[in-house]
Structure 1
């Protein structure tokens, strides 16, 4: 074997060892992301379309309706299956799970199932006339609508929660979640516009002053990031309330004659969100401005361009990646805020995260909560994809 082939083999072995070393160093991070992010994320997406509650609580009923064509009356063994399933569910205290699932399609069916389970005789034998027993408890068991609802909910998957989150199904709830989605995007967009308008002069000041002054200003800018969101939101509640610092100052300066309504409405939410998210807008813009030589604007003025023309034709196009990156970051973060609208907003200012928490902790509708969370996830991915297409993947990190 000649020396050149030996050298080539040595280079290949060195490259393999370097790759293995790199993989070993990255493996803990990949494992951590897999366990704490990707697996829960996948579980959330599955939960948004999962429909296994009825099949778990009423397996006999689901099996008896598998071949039913829904045009004729349900088969006789379906009544037997419902009676036996409800007796078992009452003993295991799982009736509420099945009743809640049927209530998503028809609120009356939730009450019907719970009342039927409570009314079944405790010493019922397996060979009794279950059809007569169920109809005696509630004549609705002689109608096809409840059997159709059970058949629709037999699973294992459903589009019910996704359609409700998109406002395409669910009656009044559909209107509610459509309005909440539009409100969430409107609040996030408003906060983004305010942050971007304030970020331009702030970033320009940071890029123009001396380093020592810039360090002090940067410290003041980053201070909100070192404070809890709950603390910041509570501080704004103290400042903006009717007898708060801001209203007292405005009335002392005779700017206003009466306290302004600045909390429990959209104004308080936007003020607090802008304060919290402003650093995420300023830093990318500042990085773009800091990278530009000052001689460009001087050259533009020497060529006859006025301040406005020089800014819009020379300066702005070059800091556009920073502006777009900051705007995207602020918008995505604003979509997921929960504490700030909860403390400073009114009933008409709550965003999707509030309803995700409500359906998770109070309504116990985890499927709808997962669908709403998935809606935010999809919106984030779509926005990021659009940003990469417009700005270019090589400039994403600006």
Structure 2
């Protein structure tokens, strides 16, 4: 009886008390034609057809309830699908926030990683290998330790605020932690190697003679870079952006420690419903939607990259 009342109460508040009240009055002898009247005598809410519609929708072993909830949709008692009330529809906004934050992190990581990967690809092998060790150094440190280190650096009395005050750029400490800015800074730092490595591997295979040939034919160096060099790095850009974006949308620890209530991504709510409310059905539905979005993104990238290769060929 407990799981039944809890499950039905998710769809309509008050179903728990209705089931409990009805169960306390059972058993009673009724004729089949008058069962509804007997139920209504126990509680007048049984005269509301919506309660019977909810029972009908949940009569199957599998129901779309959690998947619809993950999309801010509801199944009406008559079986139709409708949008959830505004005060209950929160997951679309959370998904949009997750994708937006992951896109910002991906864009900033690309802007920072592209010139660094270009520098590593153009330097002599000995110097490049030494600098590559510095790029890979964060991988040797725990993610939790790196996130905690950023809390120390970004807090009001942290090293960054103290340095900015000492050099005269600011007069009072800036709020750099427990907000969206702090999450972006930490996530970009963590994601940067994932962007540098694909770019470096592609740039390393581009012969410098292409640029020299374009310049020798009278093309401006910037124009040569944009028309000759940059298109050859598009596979590395696509692979790096895909890797960073997919990894970023699943981040949990960094936003949870460095962000505020409005900076949490979908993984935070998956963990909340898994460990907090023990609602594994909703947690599984949210995770399934996130996995579906990742697969769609990967399929789009594969199609675009395949079209690009075909066009080049």
TM-score, normalisation: structure 2: 0.87
Q: Does 1:365 align with 2:313?
A: no
Quote the Cα distance in structure 1 between the aligned partners of 2:36 and 2:302.
61
1:200 aligned to which of 100, 111, 114: 114
Quote the Cα distance in structure 1 between the aligned partners of 2:210 and 2:291.
41
Considering only aligned residues, what root-mean-square deviation do their CA atoms show, in Å? Answer: 2.3
What is the 5 A alignment of 1:262-301? 262-301=176-215
Which range moves more in the overlay, 342-351 or 303-312? 303-312
What is the 5 A alignment of 1:1-398? 89=1, 95=2, 97-114=3-20, 120=24, 126-127=27-28, 138-169=43-74, 170-172=84-86, 175-392=89-306
* SS of structure 2 residue aligned to 1:175: coil
Quote the Cα distance in structure 2 between the aligned partners of 1:235 and 1:188.
21
Quote the Cα distance in structure 1 between the aligned partners of 2:224 and 2:255.
40
Deviations 1:192-230 (A, max 9, x none): 001111111110111122222212211111111222211
Change (3 A) 1:250 1:146: same
Quote the Cα distance in structure 2 between the aligned partners of 1:370 and 1:345.
24
Quote the Cα distance in structure 2 between the aligned partners of 1:325 and 1:247.
35
Quote the Cα distance in structure 1 between the aligned partners of 2:124 and 2:152.
35
Change (3 A) 1:114 1:228: farther
Query: How many residue pairs get matched?
Result: 296
Quote the Cα distance in structure 2 between the aligned partners of 1:247 and 1:364.
41
Does the 8 Å contact 1:166/1:174 carry over to 2? no
C-alpha displacement at 1:372, in angstroms? 1.0
C-alpha displacement at 1:333, in angstroms? 0.4
Quote the Cα distance in structure 2 between the aligned partners of 1:98 and 1:172.
27
TM-score, normalisation: structure 1: 0.69
* SS of structure 2 residue aligned to 1:256: coil
2:77 corresponds to: none
Please list every run of 5 or more consecutive structure 2 residues that lacks an aligned counterpart in the other structure. 75-83
Does the 8 Å contact 1:101/1:153 carry over to 2? no
Please list every run of 5 or more consecutive structure 1 residues that lacks an aligned counterpart in the other structure. 1-88, 90-94
* SS of structure 2 residue aligned to 1:337: coil
Quote the Cα distance in structure 2 between the aligned partners of 1:327 and 1:315.
18
